[in-house]
Amino acid sequence: MTVSLRAGEAELVVDPAAGARWTSWRVGDLELLGGADVSLPAGMRSGCFVMAPFAGRLGRGRVELSGRQHQLPRLAPPHAIHGTVTERPWAVLERAGTLLRCATDLGADWPAAGRVEQRLELSADRLTSGLTLLAEEPMPVALGWHPWFPRRLARGRPAEWLLTGGEQYVRGADGLPTGELTARRPGPWDDCFRRFTTPPGLRWPGALELVVGSSAEHWVLFDERDGELCLEPQTGPPDAPAIGAAVVVPAGGELSLRCTWRWRVLPPDEAAGGSAGV
C-alpha cells in the first residue's frame, strides 16, 4: 500500500513495499517524476529511489570488506549498480501528517549487516529528505537518491540545468571515475560532479524551478537520453570504494545524507535562462 503526503498543492506518493520509491511527486497540475526504458530492475526504472550502501556503478560488482573480496550481482554488466535496497520491502516506522519514516536492512547481496532509514517531510514549497545508514559491521558506504525527471512537464518548455562552478570526475574506458578531477566540461553527461558553488537545480521555463540543497558535495548528472534526465545527490561518486572516496563506517556507526528540494511555480511567459541548457 502506498503512502501519500500532502501539503498545499504538493503531493508525494511513496511505495514502502517497492523499495520505498517515490512513485509520484506533484505540484499542482505538474508531475515531476518520470521514468526510462532501461535494462535495469523495475525499482530502478521510474520515480525516485534510494541508493545504498553504494550509489551508481560498483566496478565489476566487487567490494572488499575486512580484507576479503566479495562478488555482488552485476545488474548493469559488467558492473553492480545503485545498491541493494531498491527491490526490498521497507517497514513504515512513523506516519504522521506530512512526515514518513521507513527502514529496511541491506539484504543478503551485501556482505555486511546494516540498515538504512529514509525520512521524508513535505511542505508547500519544499521536500526535506534524509537517509541514514546504520552499520552493524564495518563497511564502505555511499548513499544517494536517483530521481528520474521528465524533460518536459505538462506545460512549459524543456528542462535546463541550473549549475554554477563544479568539478567533474574523469571517467575511464570502463565508464567509471578514475579519481582524477577536471573543471566542468560540456555535456551530454552521465558523470559525477562535486563542489558546485551554489545548489544545483533544474528549470522548466513556463512551468517550475527546482533547486536541491544537500549535506554532501557529490552529484551525478544524466542527460544522455531524449526523454528524461537525472540530478542525483550522493555522499560519494560511483565506484567510491575503489578510488578511496567511500566513507568507511565502523561497526555501530552511521552515515547520513540530508537534502532539501525547493521549488517555485513559474509564470507561463517566463523567459528561458540558466547556466547550462540541456
Say what the pLDDT of residue 274 is.
47
Task: Provide the pairing of β-strand 160-162 with 254-265.
Answer: unpaired
Say what the pLDDT of residue 269 is.
67
- Inside any domain, residue 122: yes
CA distance 104 to 106: 7
Q: Which residue has the cell 552515515?
A: 255
Structural domain count, the chain: 1
- Inside any domain, residue 13: yes
- Inside any domain, residue 183: no
Say what the pLDDT of residue 278 is.
55
- Inside any domain, residue 177: no
- Inside any domain, residue 192: no
- Inside any domain, residue 120: yes
Name the pTM for this structure. 0.95
- Inside any domain, residue 179: no
pLDDT along the chain (278 residues), means of 10: 97 98 98 95 96 97 92 96 97 96 97 98 98 98 98 97 98 95 96 98 98 98 96 98 96 98 89 49
- Inside any domain, residue 189: no
Residue 260 has which C-alpha cell?
A: 532539501
Say what the pLDDT of residue 66 is.
84
CA distance 13 to 127: 12
Q: Are 104 and 53 in contact (CB under 8 A)?
A: no
CATH number at residue 44: 2.70.98.10
Domain range for 101 is 3-157+223-260
Q: Are 159 and 229 in contact (CB under 8 A)?
A: yes
Say what the pLDDT of residue 152 is.
97
Say what the pLDDT of residue 67 is.
87
Start-to-end CA distance of the chain, whole Å, equals 36
Q: Are 277 and 187 in contact (CB under 8 A)?
A: no
